[in-house]
Amino acid sequence: MMWPAWLAERFLSMKKKSIGLRGLTLSALATALLSALPAWAVDPFTLRDIRVEGLQRVEAGTVFASLPFRIGDQYNDDKGSTAIRSLFGLGLFSDVRLQVNGDVLVVIVEERPTVADVSFSGIKEFEDEALRKALRDIGLTEGRPFDKALADRAEQELKRQYINRSMYAAQVVTTVTPGERNRVNLNFSVVEGDVAKIREIRIVGNQAFSESTLRNLFDLDTGGWLSWYTKSDRYSRAKLNADIETLRSYYLTRGYLEFRIESTQVAISPEKEDMSITINISEGNRYVVKSVALEGEYLGKEEEFKSLVTLRAGEAYNAEDEASTVKAFTDYFGAFGYAFAQVEATRDIDRVNKQVSFVLRSQPARRVYVRRINVEGNNRTRDEVIRREFRQLESAWYDSDRIRLSRDRVDRLGFFTAVEVDTQPVPGTPDQVDMTISVVEKPTGNLSLGAGYSQAEQLSIIAGIRQENVFGSGNYLGLDINTSKFNRQLVLSTVDPYFTPDGVSRSFDAYYRTTTPYTEQGGDYRLVTPGVSVKFGVPFTEQDTVFFGIGVEQTRIEPGNGLPQAYQQYSDTFGESSNSVPVTVGWSRDGRDSALVPTQGRLQRFNTELGVGGDTRYLKANYQLQQYFPLTKQYTLAFNTELGYGKGLGGKPYPIFKNFYGGGLGSVRGFDQGTLGPTSPILSGTSAGQLVNIGGNRSIALNAEFIAPFPGAGNDRTLRMFGFVDVGNVFGEQEKLSFSQLRASVGVGLSWISPVGPLRFAIANPIRKFSGDRIQKFQFQIGTSF
């Protein structure tokens, strides 16, 4: 909750103003009276004694420490005025007087009342403890002097916060109750009332686009059945301003160069429960770009700069193209060290023919280099962790591309909520700049305990301890535990992202996994796989990293009933326990705009695993490609391709435990999880002869999704619905890869970025299936994509 931050920030400034004004005003008045009235003036004398009267809780030492004189010092009117100002400045007294008796000075004070208790009644929108902490931070708490001006301002600020939450009927009353020993009880009583809802949004003056089309651009709306979640029908000035800018951008990117907002009216009903918003606009004419010319100094690279121009003659004017062209010019100048290049786009509007001509004028100014790079805000993270991500170096020419890359690399560390870069010229040296990178740290430790559920795995307890930035070193340390009924695991991981100064990463993993058959198989055997591995990530380019690794693992079959024939054959070949030394090589490139809710960009992964030692010899490889195409602000088209291939080497069979599985979420929806592909009969027990799925050494999965906002959720990207088409299958070593054997399904689904992770529901209808396929039309799981 953001309450404490805004309350502390506002009230702290209020407190300073309140105390300062009162203290200065009274002391100034006292000084004026002392200097103006001869009866109050005293001749300078030597202090023989100083006494303090009127104290109740304040220590006498506090008063003596604020006086600008001591016993034996010379006293005069100026020192008396200074003493009064100092005592008022403490904020502890409502009245201060000085009385001279011969050569004895008597300081007479009247203490402010002390707050005995702060209470709240009728408040549901905010938490009491959060309010108490906010008031405590600015001095309005138990045991502190009571400041009525501060309490009054707190009441007004609380009212404003209710208004910000569309609770216009809220009433706040502050009650101050005197108590014993000059103490007061402070109570904030609130009648919150109902939330004011937006009942109408009107756009007046539109001709080119329908009112419904323009309203659909807004985050604010008149509500729907999901408004309890999105709160989109609650008025917010900030949201309205954002929606108005969205509306302006919509017109300016479609040729309406002279579009403007004439006025905006927000009306509230007398009951303060209903609101209406009216936006009056003037569209103006639609303009077409006539020409684009360059003027000024372009470092002899006019052709390169022309290639950056996105404004095109004959096309409708687009404000985004104009802004992106100016930015591209500025950035290109920056890449050559011209940090303060001036680029201006001037327009020549022909209203008769509805055309506009552009002249891009540039002045690169002086080339500069970076003198010093400063880092601010890293209270926990070590400087070197941030600096090693820099690609812009000190005492090197200013390079906007390297600065932008440096900022992005620091942001991708995941240790900070905000990363900003500021460039300032060095006074007196026109060819030097200082660069400051400011970060806002976030907690990087994670202690989690939760439950997961999938229709294949049933209920499982999930626990983890992770620290992505151990002791501020940038290293990762994690322990994960999964207590699934059928697949359990314990994994200890550590990653050093800069094992070498060149950025080669090193990771260690130690794991222990057990697998038992699903309930319907009726078996009680266990597959146990302990292992360790080490992996190195070598950055070949800024976008591409290749991973090399080696590990040692053991696969052990603990006998029991219901063992499939394929597992028995593996045991006959390698024994009940087999060892393997896998070498891994992988490559990844992620160009998506978001890892959780991507709308554009591409993700590619390629991984190979080669068994080079122990009892097995094999090759396992898989490739994944995801591509996202933004159709509009709200709609996205997504494609996913996954291919897998495995083969035994050296005359040895491909290990069955390395098989690929298909079916269900993450593969071909509508089919039971992991049930596509080859099967093997159970040899013994009550389920003898029953076929169970064992996966295969080749797999293919093709997915396409049309992603749209959930009805009533507006532009909330954390809650979306999608339609999909899935195609795929898994094939065994002895089976021919045939497209005629591919399964296919269509359906709809819902994705939600919940507090426990990405949650996806899918309802699928298989449109290509075969006899024996296990169908499961409704599926859901946490943490899957596609």
pLDDT digits (tens, 9 = 90+) for 571-620: 888 888 889 999 999 998 887 877 667 888 899 999 999 999 888 899 99
Give the mean model confidence (pLDDT) for residues 100-126: 89
3-class SS at 285?
A: coil
Q: Give the side-chain half-sphere CA count within 13 A for 669.
A: 27
For residue 602, give the DSSP letter: E
Give the mean model confidence (pLDDT) for residues 28-52: 63
Q: Which segment of 185-189, 405-409, 451-455 scores lowest on mean pLDDT?
A: 451-455
pLDDT of residue 713: 62
- Are the C-beta atoms of residues 281 and 259 closer than 8 Å to each other? yes
> Look-up: residue for tokens 């890892």?
595
pLDDT of 726 > 90? The answer is yes
pLDDT of 531 > 90? The answer is yes
Q: Which segment of 16-20, 37-41, 160-164, 498-502 scores lowest on mean pLDDT?
A: 16-20
pLDDT of 778 > 90? The answer is no
pLDDT of residue 447: 63
- Helix boundaries (H) for 634-728: none
Q: Over the Cα atoms of the chain, what is R_g?
A: 36
pLDDT of 318 > 50? The answer is yes
Backbone angles phi, psi at 52, to 5 degrees: -125, 130
Q: Which segment of 41-45, 245-249, 656-660, 764-768 scores lowest on mean pLDDT?
A: 41-45
Structure token pair of residue 202: 């009107």
Structure token pair of residue 258: 């002279």
Beta bridge pairs of residue 265: 278
pLDDT of residue 266: 93
Query: How far is Cα 141 from Cα 147, in angstroms, rounded to an integer?
Result: 10
Other beta carbons within 10 angstroms of residue 295's beta carbon come to 12
pLDDT level of residue 569 (50, 70, 90 thresholds): confident
pLDDT of residue 57: 78
Structure token pair of residue 307: 């290639």
Give the mean model confidence (pLDDT) for residues 114-137: 84
- Are the C-beta atoms of residues 536 and 504 closer than 8 Å to each other? yes
Highest mean pLDDT among 191-195, 263-267, 489-493, 714-718: 263-267
Give DSSP secondary structure letters for 394-416: TTEE--HHHHHHHHHHHHHTS-E
Backbone angles phi, psi at 34, to 5 degrees: -65, -35
Q: Which segment of 31-45, 327-341, 530-544, 627-641 scores lowest on mean pLDDT?
A: 31-45
Residue type present at position 245: E
CA 257 to chain centroid: 34
pLDDT of residue 21: 34
User: Rounded to whole angstroms, what are the CA distances from 398 to 333, 383, 391?
Assistant: 10, 21, 11
pLDDT of 152 > 50? The answer is yes
- Are the C-beta atoms of residues 228 and 195 closer than 8 Å to each other? no
Query: How far is Cα 142 from Cα 186, in angstroms, rounded to an integer?
Result: 9
Burial class (CB in 10 A: 0-12, 13-18, 19+), 77: middle
pLDDT level of residue 6 (50, 70, 90 thresholds): very low
pLDDT of residue 519: 46
Q: What percent of the chain has pLDDT over 70?
A: 88
pLDDT of residue 135: 82
pLDDT of residue 417: 81
Mean pLDDT of the chain: 85
pLDDT of residue 179: 85
Give DSSP secondary structure letters for 463-522: EEEEESSGGGSS-EEEEEEEE-SSEEEEEEEEEETTSSTT--EEEEEEEEEEE---GGG-
Structure token pair of residue 393: 């170096």
Closest to 645 (Cα-Cα) out of 685, 696, 602, 681 = 696
pLDDT of residue 37: 38
Query: How far is Cα 428 from Cα 416, in angstroms, rounded to an integer?
Result: 34
pLDDT of residue 70: 92
pLDDT level of residue 182 (50, 70, 90 thresholds): confident
pLDDT of residue 313: 93
Give the mean model confidence (pLDDT) for residues 677-705: 86
Closest to 495 (Cα-Cα) out of 477, 510, 481 = 477
pLDDT of residue 642: 96
Q: Give the side-chain half-sphere CA count within 13 A for 745.
A: 28
Residue type present at position 218: F
pLDDT of 38 > 80? The answer is no
**Between residues 456 and 1, the one the model is more confident about:** 456
pLDDT of 88 > 80? The answer is yes
Query: How far is Cα 584 from Cα 298, in angstroms, rounded to an integer?
Result: 50
pLDDT level of residue 446 (50, 70, 90 thresholds): low
Highest mean pLDDT among 275-289, 403-417, 752-766: 275-289
Structure token pair of residue 430: 């026109």
